[in-house]
Amino acid sequence: MPLIIGCALFMELLDATAVLTALPQMAVEFGEPTVRMNLVVSLYLLALALFVPVSGWAADRFGPRRVFVVAIVSFVLASLACAASTSLLQLSLARLLQGAAGAMMVPVGQVILLRWAGRENLLSAMAFLTMPALIGPVLGPPLGGLLVTALSWHWIFLINLPIGALGIVLILRHVPDYPGQRGAALDVRGFLLSGIGLACLVFAFEAFGHGLLPGAWVAALLVVGLLGGILYVRHARRTEHPLIDLRLLKIPTFSTAIWAGNLFRLGSASQPFLLVLLFQVGFGLSPLAAGLLTLAGGAGALTMKFLSVRIVQRFGFRRTLMGNSLLTGFSIALCATFDAQTPYWVIVLLLYVGGVIRSLQFSTLGALTYSDVPIELASRASSLSAMSLQLTMSLAVGLAASLLGLIVNLRGHGQPQAADLSLTMLICGLLCATSWLVFRRLGRNAGRAVTG
């Protein structure tokens, strides 16, 4: 079951990262400036941010399996529309539909998994569910480069068709059809406030990190996003059934997993982006070769899936998460020492070990997040977790790109140098390690309902 649900997550993450390698070829074919092709990424993230908040309500109202299947079908059809696009406008509209479908897939898939696994199997289930989250972003760039080089950019989208079809067949055969319930009506005001706030913040972080908009526009988006968030918090406190239930943050394990997990991701999520740049700038490797080197991290992630349950049962959530946050920060700092003379076997070994460590951290975080959440609140918890994750992942790359730009300017370099990238990576490693301070708030018996 976790692998079936992970099929959709893998498809979404693979598509989101692989498409980055195809933007230059798309620009040539459409006759558009390369900078305008960032719309393909930004509009996808915009739609994702708009529809993540409504995913929990839809799962409760119509049944999670039905919503999950509709989301995958929509994603596959949108992928086909992307491949058939002959202009930037057509591709942008198709990417909007892709983003809306992707916003439903991951949170609703988690709801199904939480109902199916129960607390006694939650740690093991999350260990396999987080596997695609680690492998997809690592496999995406080299696969995208290979498809663009050997075939064309269209195949980056067409590859979703067999993956989606397989996922639909497996879901209909093996996933229980949990019924929907006629509960509270859709919180329309909450949907508008949360959607506008989240979309503006995500788009602002993306624009800031990649230089898509002038500074004044970025500041305006941040103001609107923060205002939308503040207004939503006021609205949620006065509403009996808010779309995003912030009262879940009163659950200690859920709250710590959200805050500490987001801080951890701020430091770690940008590593693939920085490593590929370092390999190209410092080593002079091609984008495809640089992407292939990072596959070692995915191999490490696969290895840990078979050990994570035993480790957490032996050491507990608190010690595992605290120790792993420090180890992850240290592993990122070691990657900052790479230069053109570093043997490839050393690079592969360190990236493999880093993948092992991060895989254990994300599996443990996933189980801790829902360890004390009542099953009737699973859909709301999934929506809130997905929303915070979307914000953090958008901010992570933007923060790393901004740090890199600041370091380059302070050092007076026209283009990023290997030393600039290494210093940026070191700062991200320190940020990742500081999540240790938040994980310390966990009680010694935190997550006992999951580990027994």
From CA 18, how far away is CA 152, in angstroms rounded? 12
Burial 391-419 (b: 16+ CB within 10 A, else e): bbbbbbbbbbbbbbbebbeeeeeeebebe
Angle at 183 between CA 116 and CA 56, to 5 degrees: 50
Per-residue pLDDT, 5 = 77
Per-residue pLDDT, 222 = 82
What is the tens place of the pLDDT at every residue in 380-411?
Answer: 777 777 777 767 776 776 677 777 777 777 77
Percent of the chain scoring above 90 in pLDDT: 0
The answer to whether residues 297 and 359 touch, using CB atoms and an 8 Å cutoff, is: no
Q: What is the mean pLDDT of the chain?
A: 76
Per-residue pLDDT, 409 = 74
Amino acid at position 40, single letter: V
Amino acid at position 249, single letter: L
From CA 242, how far away is CA 239, in angstroms rounded? 6
What is the tens place of the pLDDT at every residue in 338-380?
Answer: 877 778 788 888 888 887 888 788 778 877 877 777 777 777 7
Largest CA distance in the chain: 63
Over residues 215-231, mean pLDDT: 82
Residue 34 tokens read as 């390369």
Per-residue pLDDT, 306 = 63
Per-residue pLDDT, 397 = 67
Per-residue pLDDT, 24 = 67
Per-residue pLDDT, 392 = 76
Judged against a pLDDT cut of 80, whether residue 43 lies above it is answered with: no
Residue with tokens 């199904």: 112
What is the tens place of the pLDDT at every residue in 260-272?
Answer: 888 888 877 777 7
What is the tens place of the pLDDT at every residue in 280-334?
Answer: 766 777 666 666 676 666 666 666 666 777 777 788 788 888 888 898 888 888 8
Binned at pLDDT 50, 70 and 90, residue 169 comes out as: confident
What is the tens place of the pLDDT at every residue in 172-189?
Answer: 888 777 776 766 677 778
Count of residues in the chain = 452
The answer to whether residues 138 and 16 touch, using CB atoms and an 8 Å cutoff, is: no
CB atoms within 10 A of CB 117: 20
The answer to whether residues 380 and 245 touch, using CB atoms and an 8 Å cutoff, is: yes
Instruction: For residue 112, give the nearest of 13, 254, 4 by alpha carbon.
Output: 4
